[in-house]
Structure 1
Amino acid sequence: MSTISVPSILNVEEDCQDLNQAFRGLGCDAKKVIAILGHRTLAQRRAIADAYFKTFREDLHKRLKSELHGNFEKAMLLWMMDAVERDAQLLLESMKGIGKNDTALLGILCSRTPSQLQLISQTYFKTYHKSLESQIEGNTSGDYRKLLLALVSGNRSSESLGENQELALADAHELYRAGAARLGTNEDTFIHVFTTRNSAQLRTTLQLYQQTFGHALETVIKKEISGNFQSALLTVMQCTCCPARFFAKELYHSMKGLGTDDNTLIRIVTTRAEVDMQYIKAEFSSLYKKSLEQMITGDTSGNYRLFLLTLVGRV
C-alpha cells in the first residue's frame, strides 16, 4: 500500500515549468522539487521526465544530478528510476568492491517475485552488458551462491497455483530429515524447497513444520546453518511470511545506534514507498513503539529528511 499522496488534478506541463523555475539562479529550490516529484506516482514521474525533455531539450535525470547533492541526490535519482532499473542498479552497487552489501543483495533477491526477477535480470544485462548470474557467481560462494542463483532462475511455482497441503506436509518432513533429524545438514533440500515453492506454499510448509515437529524451522536454521547461507534462508522465510516486518526491522537497524546506514534507508524507502510502506510503518510502530517518521526525523536532516518524510507519507 503506497504512502504517496498525489494532487487530484495533475498538469504535467505546469510541473515542468515549476521544476525549471526551481533550477534557475544560484542554488536549487529543493523544497519545490520535493513538493512536485515527491507527490507523483511512477507513471506521473515518467510523464514529467518525458515532457521536460520535449520542452527544454534536457534530460531531467541529468539536471537533478547536477543540482542536488549527497544523500538527497542519491535518494531522488533512485526515486526517478523505473522499479526494475532501480533494482538492477542497487544489485550492481551491492556487489561492487571489497565491501559487498549482502544485506541489499538479499533484500532485493528474496523479496521480488519470479517475474520481477526475470525482468531485473534482463534489464541488468541490457544496462551493464553482463549477466546478473555471472555477477552473483563471481561475488558469492558455496550454498549461499547456489540459493541466490536458484532464486534468480525464477523456478518458483506461480502464485496463482495457491497452496497444496499434501505437498506442504511432504516438504515439512523433507526439511526435518534434512536438518533436525540428522547430524549435519542437507543444504540442497533447503535450497530446493525455498526456491521452488511460491509464498503461499512455503508459508503453509512452515506452519505445518511447527505443528508437526513442535518447533519452528527458523530455530533449526539458526542452530544448524551459519553465515550468509543462514541469512539468506532466514530472509526468504521473513519475506515470505511478512515482508513488511522484514523491511521494518531493516529500517530500524539502519538508524539505531551511532550513525545511520543511509544506503539501506534510501534503498528501502525508495523501493517500498509505492508498494507496502503503510504496512511497513504499522509493523515498525508495533515492534519499536515509535513511528518510522520519528526515527527518520531524529537521524536525518535538511532536504534529505524532508524528502524521506514525504515518501513515507508524513509531508
Structure 2
Amino acid sequence: PVFFFFQSEAEGRSVTGALNFDPAPDAQTLYKAMKGLGTDEQAIIDVLTKRSNMQRQQIAKSFKGQFGKDLIESLKSELSGNFERLIVALMYSPFKYDAKELYDAMKGVGTSEGVIIEILASRTKAQIKEIIKAYKEEYGSDLEEDIKSETSGYFEQILVCLLQGERDNATLYVDTTLALQDAETLYAAGEKIQGTDEMQFITILCTRSATHLLKVFEEYQKLAGKSIEDSIKSETRGSLEDAMLAIVKCTRNVHCYFAERLYHALKGAGTHDGTLIRVIVSRSEVDLNLIKAEFKRIAGKSLSSMILILNLVKAHYSF
C-alpha cells in the first residue's frame, strides 16, 4: 500500500507538496471519489500522496467547509485494510500521528513495545514535547502516566527518561573528560561486574547529547575492547535491550536506524505493514531519501523494488 510514495524515485524526491496549491478543487475531487457506489481509490491516491502534510490539513478544512463532513471519517467509511491505514495516516498532522501510534500501541490487549521505542528514541526534544501535548489534546490522558501503566521495571524507566527529551541538548563542544568518565562508568556498570547496573546505562544514554555520546562510545570501545552495542546485547534482554540499542543506533545514524526498521519489516516471516506505513509516512517530509539510500546499502536493492515485489506476492497469494 505504500509503493506510490516511490513513483518519482528516479528524481530522488520524497513528498514536497504541490505548487500553486488550492485546497478547494482537491476537496471536490475527494468528495466525488467517495460519492455513490464504489470508491475511486486512484483519485484519492493522486491527490493525497502528492500533497504535503500542511496542504492535506487545508484540504480537510476545505472538505468540511464545502460538504459539512469530516474527511478522515469519510475516508474511514469508504476504505479498508492497509490502504485505509495508510490514507488515514497521511491525514494526521505529524505530532497527532505520533500520538495516535503511541495510543494504539498501548490500547487493547498487550503493548507494542517496538512502536513506543521507535518513536521515543528517534524524535527530538521539541518533537517529544509536541507529541505529549497532542496526546493530551486527543485522548485526554497523560502520555507518561499511560506508559507507566503499560510498562514496568527498567523498561518503564528508560521510556520515562526518553520522554524528558534531555538527549537533544546538543552542543558541538564535547567535554572529553566527562565522556571518558561516562565510558568508564558504563564499563564498570556492565562488563566489569557480575550482573549489570542498568540505571547507569539508562541515565547516560537518555541524558547526554548525541555528540557527547559518540565520544563516549568511542572511549568505551577502547576500554572494553568491544562496541557498546555488543555489551548491551550481552548485558540486557528483551525490550530494555531493544530500547538501548535503538538509542545507540539513532545516535550513530538515525537514517540507518529507520532503514533497518524497514528492512526487518520487509524480510522474514510475515510483513509488518504498520512499521512500513508509519516510517514512510512520518519521514516522507523529513529524511526519506536519506533512509532510502541507507536501505539500498543494507539490502543491496532499493526500498521501492522490495515493496513492489512484496505487493505482487501478496496480490498473487491474496494475503
* Distance apart, 1:72 and its partner CA: 0.5
* Distance apart, 1:99 and its partner CA: 3.3
Write the distance in 2 (CA, Å) between the matches of 1:222 and 1:24.
54
* Distance apart, 1:108 and its partner CA: 0.6
- Cα deviation code 1:88-111 (max 9, x no counterpart): 110111122333211111101111
Give the structure, 1 or 2, with the largest relative contact order (CA under 8 Å, sep 6 or more).
1
1:91 to 91, 102, 121: 102
* Distance apart, 1:129 and its partner CA: 1.9
Alignment of 1:94-105 (within 5 A): 94-105=105-116
2:274 to 263, 284, 299: 263
| Paired position in structure 2 for 1:34 | 45
SS of 1:110's partner is: helix
* Distance apart, 1:135 and its partner CA: 1.4
What is the RMSD of the two structures over their aligned residues, measured on CA atoms?
A: 2.0
Write the distance in 1 (CA, Å) between the matches of 2:207 and 2:172.
13
Write the distance in 2 (CA, Å) between the matches of 1:153 and 1:25.
49
AA aligned to 1:129 is G
1:50 to 36, 41, 61: 61
Q: Is the 8 A contact 1:2 1:273 kept in 2?
A: no
AA aligned to 1:83 is P
SS of 2:167's partner is: coil
Pair 1:166 & 2:177 matched: yes
Pair 1:293 & 2:307 matched: no
SS of 2:15's partner is: coil
Structure 2's unaligned 5+ residue stretches are 1-11
AA aligned to 1:7 is A
Q: TM-score, normalised by structure 2?
A: 0.89
| Paired position in structure 2 for 1:12 | 23
Structure 1's unaligned 5+ residue stretches are 305-315
AA aligned to 1:107 is E
AA aligned to 1:183 is Q
Moved more, 64-73 or 22-31: 22-31
SS of 1:300's partner is: helix
Write the distance in 1 (CA, Å) between the matches of 2:286 and 2:76.
25
| Paired position in structure 2 for 1:194 | 205
* Distance apart, 1:112 and its partner CA: 0.8
| Paired position in structure 1 for 2:151 | 140
- Cα deviation code 1:153-197 (max 9, x no counterpart): 233352256533332222111111111122211111111101111
Write the distance in 2 (CA, Å) between the matches of 1:188 and 1:259.
35
SS of 2:286's partner is: coil
* Distance apart, 1:17 and its partner CA: 2.0
Q: Is the 8 A contact 1:2 1:274 kept in 2?
A: no
Write the distance in 1 (CA, Å) between the matches of 2:34 and 2:208.
49
Write the distance in 1 (CA, Å) between the matches of 2:173 and 2:68.
49
| Paired position in structure 2 for 1:312 | none
* Distance apart, 1:289 and its partner CA: 0.7
Closer, same or farther: CA 132–185 of 1 in aligned 2, 3 Å = same
Write the distance in 1 (CA, Å) between the matches of 2:124 and 2:13.
18
* Distance apart, 1:70 and its partner CA: 0.9
Write the distance in 1 (CA, Å) between the matches of 2:201 and 2:154.
10
AA aligned to 1:250 is R
* Distance apart, 1:5 and its partner CA: 4.6
Write the distance in 1 (CA, Å) between the matches of 2:32 and 2:47.
12
Write the distance in 2 (CA, Å) between the matches of 1:75 and 1:275.
17
Pair 1:240 & 2:251 matched: yes
Q: Is the 8 A contact 1:249 1:284 kept in 2?
A: yes
SS of 2:243's partner is: helix
2:70 to 55, 59, 62: 59
Moved more, 285-294 or 167-176: 167-176
| Paired position in structure 2 for 1:23 | 34
* Distance apart, 1:13 and its partner CA: 1.9
SS of 2:97's partner is: helix
Q: Is the 8 A contact 2:191 2:224 kept in 1?
A: no
Write the distance in 1 (CA, Å) between the matches of 2:29 and 2:112.
38
2:233 to 222, 225, 229: 222
* Distance apart, 1:277 and its partner CA: 0.9
| Paired position in structure 1 for 2:218 | 207
* Distance apart, 1:250 and its partner CA: 1.3
Percent identical among aligned pairs is: 37
Q: Is the 8 A contact 1:251 1:264 kept in 2?
A: yes
